[in-house]
Structure 1
Amino acid sequence: MGSKFLKISLISAGAVFAVGAFFVTQSGRSFKIESNQGSHVNNTSTVSIASTPQAEPQEKTANNLSPISGLSCPNYNRRPVAVMLAGDVIVRPLSGISFADLVVEMPVITDIGAVPISLWTN
């Protein structure tokens, strides 16, 4: 059993060393994420005002869909809210589920019962 432990220790130490060597050798390579929001504000002379109204409605119709329901909504870019509700007889009736865009019911292995997960986007 001692040689098996020694082999596992050497293999795991070698793996840790290999991962460490990879990150040390890759440290010279880096990338920079730059925001170009400031350049749009300061460089207003290059923006064409006539082309902006034509491009915006197409983008809005394509992008204002809820990622959960697929329906158009005004606040499509908000984070969805996930809520877990107990499915026990004691807590029934469950209120607010009709307002959810998506309801998922999961079986629970313990004695709690089924727990529906509701997701709201608006």
Structure 2
Amino acid sequence: MCVDDVNAGTADGNPILLVGCNESDAQQLSLGSDGTVRVKGGCIAPVDARTAAGTPLEYRTCYGTSEQRWIPLANNALYHPASGRCFSLPPGGQAAGGTRLQLSDCKDEAYQQWSMPMLRTAALPAPPRS
């Protein structure tokens, strides 16, 4: 399963889902030098810059603001400092195709661990303790 910008949409508010991997541009995520997670020229951020657990993630025009910044952690999680939460499947890790990704409390669980080539670096920070 892969993180996907639905239908390769580039309009603000386009949902970010977990779907079957197909190597399309909509699944080519990268970590920007400014801490943004980028796809199709835009950034992945919580809806309306909200910080509550369960807030869905969406495609946004990149502005480099705090709600668009993520920190890759040593356990392969992506930490969102503006909310103190992590890039996540819904708690419990339902990995069904079409599941919308969201912010969740960081739990060091498989449903919050992501594999991106640019995250394979040394000296990443430890996950926050809850």
The two structures have a TM-score, normalised by structure 1, of: 0.18
More strand by share: 2
More helix by share: 1
- Kindly name which structure, 1 or 2, has the bigger radius of gyration based on alpha carbons: 1
* RCO higher in structure (CA 8 A, sep ≥6): 2
The two structures have a TM-score, normalised by structure 2, of: 0.18
